[in-house]
Amino acid sequence: MFYQQLINGLMLGASYSLVAIGYTLIFGVLNLLYFSHGEVFMVGAFVGLFLVLYAGTNIYVALLGAMIVCAILGALAFFVAVRPVPKDRPLAPLISTIGLTIILQNLAIYVFGGQQFSFPETIHQALYHIGPITVSSVQLFILGVAITLMVALWLFIERTKLGRAMRAVAENHETAALLGVNVNRVVLITFIIGSGIAGVAGVLDGLKNSSVSPFMGLGAAVKGLIVMLLGGLGNVPGAMIAGLLLGTIEILSAAYIGTTERDFFSFLILILILLYRPTGLFGTRTAEQG
């Protein structure tokens, strides 16, 4: 029973991690809270749903399609709501991305209506029994895609020239620019990568819950923020581990304490981290800088 819940928690945590990676990447390079990320996630889920439902593609194409559309959406978001807004006022980009969040959510409601869509069964359903644990093929698929993406991203950040440029920009804009990094381009690429990953996370979430709705963005956004903080702002591997951790804690508290208390625990963790370890579990920044 315990191991079973542990596995369920990891599944939930995998999608938290993917959302939080985008947040933490964007926070890392721009030092701003980008609020529309949850809605990008929602758009990704809808793109995946429609590719599967109407274009009849398989799930891999749907994932790729959602990734591409969301990457474009992320670039658009950057050009529309982040870049033109003055940087010296910390609240201005927050409000403009809140504006974009409202636009995207209501556009989805306007186009699709306020109802839920059920996500079709695209993966062959099968159950695998490993000792006391039962794992479904969908769960394995979700976990596999999430982990592949995370490893790929980690390699990209650590091993490629562009990844190094991203880390340099996250460290300090001026210094990076002096060393010949095109800061604006790196920021744009960060938005593209973060949003693309959020799109994949959206499709995976649709698969997991077998439903998609225009309202799924806000919850993902809030959970993503908590995970970002738990892992340390701007810390990508931190966000990956913290997501899995939060998912596990939520599922375990829901299983052993109660479903109403599930959210209570995630927010309690948020507050405790903020008060006692504001750099996150693995982070490097301090609350004073935030």
Partner 1 sequence: MFGGLIDNYTQSILIFTGINIIAAYSFFAPFKTGQVSLGQAGFMAIGAYASAIMTQKMGLPFALALPIGGVAAGVIGVIVGFPALRIKGVYLLLLTLGLSEIIQVIILSWDYTGGAQGFRNIPFNRHTIGWCFGLIVVLMIFFARLERSSLGRAMDSIQQDETAAEAMGVDVVRTKLFAFGTGAAIAGLAGALFAHQTTYVDSTTFNILLSIEILTFVVVGGGSTCWGPAVGAFVLTLLPQLLRTFRDALELTPVSWTNFYPMNRIYDFLYDFLDFENAKRLIAFGVILIVMMIVRPDGLLTRDSMRWLSLARWSAKHA
- Site of interaction with partner 1 (CB under 8 A): 27, 33, 80-81, 84-86, 89-96, 98-103, 105-107, 109-110, 218, 222, 225-226, 229, 233, 260-261, 263-264, 267-268, 270-271, 274-275, 278, 287-288, 290
Pick 249 or 270: Cβ nearer partner 1: 270
**Least Å distance between CB 100 and partner 1?**
6
* Angstrom distances, CA of residue 61 to CA of 18, 68, 69, 254: 19, 10, 12, 34
**Least Å distance between CB 83 and partner 1?**
10
Coil vs helix vs strand at 117 = strand
Pick 145 or 254: Cβ nearer partner 1: 254
**Least Å distance between CB 8 and partner 1?**
21
**Least Å distance between CB 98 and partner 1?**
6
**Least Å distance between CB 233 and partner 1?**
7
Pick 10 or 270: Cβ nearer partner 1: 270
Q: How many CA atoms lie within 13 A of 117 on its CB side?
A: 26
Q: How far apart are CA 209 and CA 265, in angstroms?
A: 21
Pick 52 or 227: Cβ nearer partner 1: 227
**Least Å distance between CB 266 and partner 1?**
9
* Angstrom distances, CA of residue 15 to CA of 118, 209, 240, 268: 18, 11, 10, 20
- Which residues partner with 127 through β-bridges? 136
* Angstrom distances, CA of residue 144 to CA of 83, 213, 222, 225, 278: 35, 24, 24, 23, 31
Dihedral (Cα; 192, 283, 143, 245), 10-degree rounding: -140
**Least Å distance between CB 163 and partner 1?**
24
* Angstrom distances, CA of residue 285 to CA of 16, 121, 234, 274: 21, 43, 8, 12
Start-to-end CA distance of the chain, whole Å, equals 41
- Which residues partner with 129 through β-bridges? 134
List, in sequence order, the alpha helices (H) in the chain: 2-30, 37-53, 59-77, 91-112, 137-159, 161-171, 173-178, 183-209, 216-231, 236-256, 261-276
Pick 149 or 216: Cβ nearer partner 1: 216
Pick 107 or 179: Cβ nearer partner 1: 107
Pick 151 or 268: Cβ nearer partner 1: 268
